Amino acid sequence: MKPSKPAGTQTATLAEIAREAGVSAPTVSKVLNGRADVSPATRTRVEELLRAYGYRRRRAEASRSPLIDVVFHELESAWAMEVIRGVENVARDAGLSVVLSESAGRLTPGRTWADQVAARRPHGVVLVLSELDESQRALLTSRSIPFVVMDPAGDPGPDVPSIGATNWQGGLAATRHLVELGHTRIGAISGPTRMMCSRARVDGYRAALETAGLPVDPSLVVAGDFHHDAGYRLGLELLRRPDRPTAVFAGNDLQALGLYEAARELGLRVPEDLSVVGFDDLPVARWVGPPLTTVRQPLTEMAEAAARLVLELGSEREERAATRVELATSLVVRSSTDVPPAA
């Protein structure tokens, strides 16, 4: 979590940084405290030096606000609600309030999101399917504001602590279940391929087919975003094929519900004509007709783990090696999967 520093410069005092920047120590202090009354040029120069020296504020704890920040890639669907609830549970026990942001295109007059966070000094930041760029990381690190990535979209790098779920194992379990029911022609709707969790799920699907000695037909794997509409659209595409699959592993529950709609529209019954497996186990999975067989991802527990980890990172004197924790997924069999229709 520490940016690289010039060789040999283990530490630099605030006064030394001020001297090198050609400003007064109180000005450096203002920059550190996120005050607005510093010219942009000075601010940039001081920030750069703070980063270069890997300067970490002393007495960080005393000046922290009783807040924990959560940043979402997008703030939508019951998925986000499960995550918010987990962070809120941990925050409440710690006497903290939760600040919520959406990362996508948050441009505020004169201040970026990271500047706002630096100014309000939360106990930590949980990033959900969302990432920091190099300068944002450096800014938070210079303020001793720890951060943890939940369900990293890309590969956050070995130095970023993260919490995820066993996506690959989930894809494997979902597909094995379909294979065991006798399906041999199984499609997959993937989430966005730029997200590692999507890739891992589809790789688990492939591994299940391969270990069962079944052929992997790449044309049966389609990808879209994680919304209902993608499941509907890609579902129609798969189900309209003359050689349509008898079962589909969807990238998440919302896609699975979109697939339900596509099947209804084509007059196909679930599970008699089509078996469907989802991923997430949102509350709605139990409520739809037929109740959805899905891979349970413990979202609330993952969010709790992320929030607890970020508070631990903030309360430790020493830095510790970055952690990657994956919580276990589990297959929940309900009524949307059955043996394939007689040929």
Residues that bind a copy of itself (CB under 8 A): 65-67, 69, 75-78, 80-81, 84-85, 88, 92, 95, 97-102, 106, 108-109, 111, 116, 120, 228, 254, 257-258, 260-261, 264, 283-284, 286-289
State the nearest-atom distance from the C-beta of 299 to a copy of itself, in Å: 13
Residue 46, Ramachandran bin (φ over 0: left; ψ between -120 and 50: alpha; else beta): alpha
State the nearest-atom distance from the C-beta of 343 to a copy of itself, in Å: 26
Closest to a copy of itself by CB, 120 or 244: 120
State the nearest-atom distance from the C-beta of 38 to a copy of itself, in Å: 17
Assess whether the previous peptide bond of 283 is cis (omega < 30° from 0): no
Closest to a copy of itself by CB, 22 or 283: 283
C-alpha span between 50 and 32 (Å, rounded)? 9
The secondary structure of 126-165, three-state, reads EEECCCCCHHHHHHHHHCCCCEEEECCCCCCCCCCCEEEE
Contact present, 14 and 28 (Cβ < 8 Å): yes
State the nearest-atom distance from the C-beta of 95 to a copy of itself, in Å: 4
Closest to a copy of itself by CB, 202 or 262: 262
State the nearest-atom distance from the C-beta of 315 to a copy of itself, in Å: 15
Closest to a copy of itself by CB, 65 or 135: 65
Closest to a copy of itself by CB, 86 or 191: 86
- Side chain identity, residue 153: A
Give me 33's structure tokens.
């405290």
Closest to a copy of itself by CB, 213 or 287: 287
State the nearest-atom distance from the C-beta of 250 to a copy of itself, in Å: 13
State the nearest-atom distance from the C-beta of 272 to a copy of itself, in Å: 14
The residues near 158 (Cβ < 8 Å, ≥ 6 apart) are 322
Closest to a copy of itself by CB, 34 or 204: 34
Closest to a copy of itself by CB, 78 or 216: 78
State the nearest-atom distance from the C-beta of 89 to a copy of itself, in Å: 9
Instruction: Give Cα 142 to chain centroid, integer Å.
Output: 24
State the nearest-atom distance from the C-beta of 16 to a copy of itself, in Å: 32
Planar angle of CA 83, 234, 182, nearest 5 degrees: 90
- The single-letter DSSP state of residue 328 is P
C-alpha span between 55 and 321 (Å, rounded)? 19
Q: Helix, strand or coil for residue 81?
A: helix
Length reported for the chain: 343
Among 62, 81, 128, 123, smallest CA distance to 101 is for 128
The 10 Å Cβ neighbour count of residue 152 is 22
Residue 334: phi, psi to the nearest 5?
A: -120, -130
Give me 53's structure tokens.
């020296």
Closest to a copy of itself by CB, 88 or 208: 88
